[in-house]
Amino acid sequence: MLAEQQYIELFQKYRSEIDSHASSLMNEERAFSFDFFAKKGFPNQRDEDFLHINLEKQFSNDYGMNLKAVDFKVDPYKFFRCTVPGINSHMFFVINDQFYPNVQLKYELPQGVIAGSLREMSKKYPELIRSYYNKLAKNTTDTTVHFNTAFAQDGFFLYVPKGVVVEKTIQLVNMMYGGVDMMANSRNLIVIEEGASAKLLVCGHAMEERSYLANRVTEVFVGKGAKYDHYKLENTNEKMTNVGSLFVSQDQESEVVISEITLQNGLTRNNVVVNLDGEYSSVVLGGMAINDCHQHTDTHTIINHNQPNCSSKELYKYVLDGEATGAFDGRILVKKDAQKTSAHQTNRNICLNKKAKMYTKPHLEIYADDVSCSHGATVGQLDDSTVFYLRSRGISEVEAKMLLMFAFVNDVEELIRVPALQDTIRLLVEKRFRGELNKKCEGCSSHCK
């Protein structure tokens, strides 16, 4: 419990400091989660859900925490240019764990849409936020999430009222910046009301090569017949530890697409929990990771089919090179009365190097009988005979392998429903495979590597 002790003491000592830079609504939830965390501590590798990732060790580093919400005096709009060409997004920033307040929007948001700092908005609209905040995250046994609830002071809040369609993609950039080793606990809340629709792109970046740890929790509520797209793109560096937890609750006939793409990272843990709480709701959950060196991507997904007639489709692909390791743990749970469920899960992985390791555990738990469920998982390499076929037609070995790898991840890219974003991801993926991603983009001072 050594790693925990420093945070337990920190919390007890600075509780009033933490509270004073957050909202009373967020403060109300702290005590329960702190007790939960103090009792159970960080997850360790004896825990079935954390077999292949040592988060205890990551958290035991000596990180700075910006509990006093010191303003870093940066203008992200100036030096951050990693925008997606042609996407025309509404851009928001969270620097470490604080929402960047001087929002400059190129376009106006549709009427009634609220987007901004979770801290400020929960002061302004306490009743609205109270009925959603921590409602999904509270029930988890994952102590990193409770750790977040105990320490989080700010984050991003998005509210799309009934029937409103936000055409342009909303882009949230999570940026680590500080010049010292830092930890950030930020909290996002997304509420999409009945018949509304929105798309959110969440990018993760680190400005310097310091040891950063980001522990971010996002809760999403999708109303009846609403549509929501959630794209997460991680492009940081090898020293970065990213723990992201996404909780989704879907009402009747809602449609959700989630895609998590990890291009460059150090250690990544992605938790996704989707609750299909209304009949005829559907979710498409996809993701890919391209890892080399000593990078590690650990994905843990749970899809709860709580109601009948829902469908879910899950597709994760990993390409591992160097001494990278990947872990995938996908769980589909079909409750007793969730008849006519359709749930399909696929996980495919390529190991390009002898030292690359892949651990996969796709599992189904089914308590209803009238269902159609399947899962499949493979671990393998690029097919020699296919490479030979391409070479015999005059394509060099390197290019042949590239082609096959692009083809391999293509169907994950196709899950993305924003054409401009899809093109950009394709480009980034190509750059990643060619090892060109660490070059600075024009006009950008972000050190992606």
Partner 1 sequence: MEDNQKLLKEITSGEYKYGFTTDIDTEYIPTGLNEDIVRLISAKKNEPEWLLDFRLKAFRHWQTLEMPQWAHLDVPEIDFQLIAYYAAPKKKEGPKSLDEVDPELLKTFDKLGIPLEEQKMHLGMAVDAIVDSVSVKTTHKEKLAEKGIIFCSISEAVQDYPDLVRQYMGSVVPYTDNFFAALNSAVFSDGSFVYIPKGVRCPMELSSYFRINAINTGQFERTLIIADDDSYVSYLEGCTAPQRDENQLHAAIVEIITNERAEVKYSTVQNWYPGDKEGKGGVYNFVTKRGICKGDNSKISWTQVETGSAITWKYPSCILKGDNSIGEFYSVAVTNNYQQADTGTKMIHIGKNTKSHIVSKGISAGHSQNSYRGLVKVVPAAENARNFSQCDSLLMGDKCGAHTFPYMEVDNDTAIVEHEATTSKISEDQVFYCNQRGISTEDAVGLIVNGYAKEVINKLPMEFAVEAQRLLQISLEGSVG
Could you tell me the smallest distance in angstroms from the CB atom of residue 311 to partner 1?
14
CB-CB contact of 272 with 302 (8 Å) = yes
User: Exposed, middle or buried, 55 (CB in 10 Å: 0-12/13-18/19+)?
Assistant: buried
* Cβ nearer to partner 1, comparing 367 with 389: 367
Could you tell me the smallest distance in angstroms from the CB atom of residue 289 to partner 1?
15
CB-CB contact of 231 with 200 (8 Å) = yes
Could you tell me the smallest distance in angstroms from the CB atom of residue 180 to partner 1?
36
Could you tell me the smallest distance in angstroms from the CB atom of residue 265 to partner 1?
21
* Cβ nearer to partner 1, comparing 153 with 349: 349
Give the 3-state secondary structure of residue 125: coil
Output the six-digit token pair for 382. 């690029």
Could you tell me the smallest distance in angstroms from the CB atom of residue 355 to partner 1?
8
CB-CB contact of 331 with 304 (8 Å) = no
CA distance linking residue 233 with residue 292, whole number of Å: 17
| Chain center to CA of 273 | 11
Residue carrying structure tokens 């692909």: 317
* Cβ nearer to partner 1, comparing 213 with 358: 358
User: Exposed, middle or buried, 111 (CB in 10 Å: 0-12/13-18/19+)?
Assistant: exposed
Output the six-digit token pair for 430. 């190509």
Judged by the rule CB under 8 A, the positions of this chain that interact with partner 1 are 48, 336-337, 339, 349, 351-381
* Cβ nearer to partner 1, comparing 3 with 377: 377
In sequence order, the 6+-apart residues with CB closer than 8 A to the CB of 408 are 317, 319, 348, 350
Residue carrying structure tokens 């006939």: 253
Through-space distance between the first and last CA atoms of the chain, rounded to whole angstroms: 33
Could you tell me the smallest distance in angstroms from the CB atom of residue 244 to partner 1?
24
Could you tell me the smallest distance in angstroms from the CB atom of residue 213 to partner 1?
27
* Cβ nearer to partner 1, comparing 384 with 442: 384
CB-CB contact of 82 with 114 (8 Å) = no
* Cβ nearer to partner 1, comparing 188 with 347: 347
* Cβ nearer to partner 1, comparing 80 with 433: 433
* Cβ nearer to partner 1, comparing 167 with 397: 397
Could you tell me the smallest distance in angstroms from the CB atom of residue 341 to partner 1?
10
CB-CB contact of 261 with 287 (8 Å) = yes
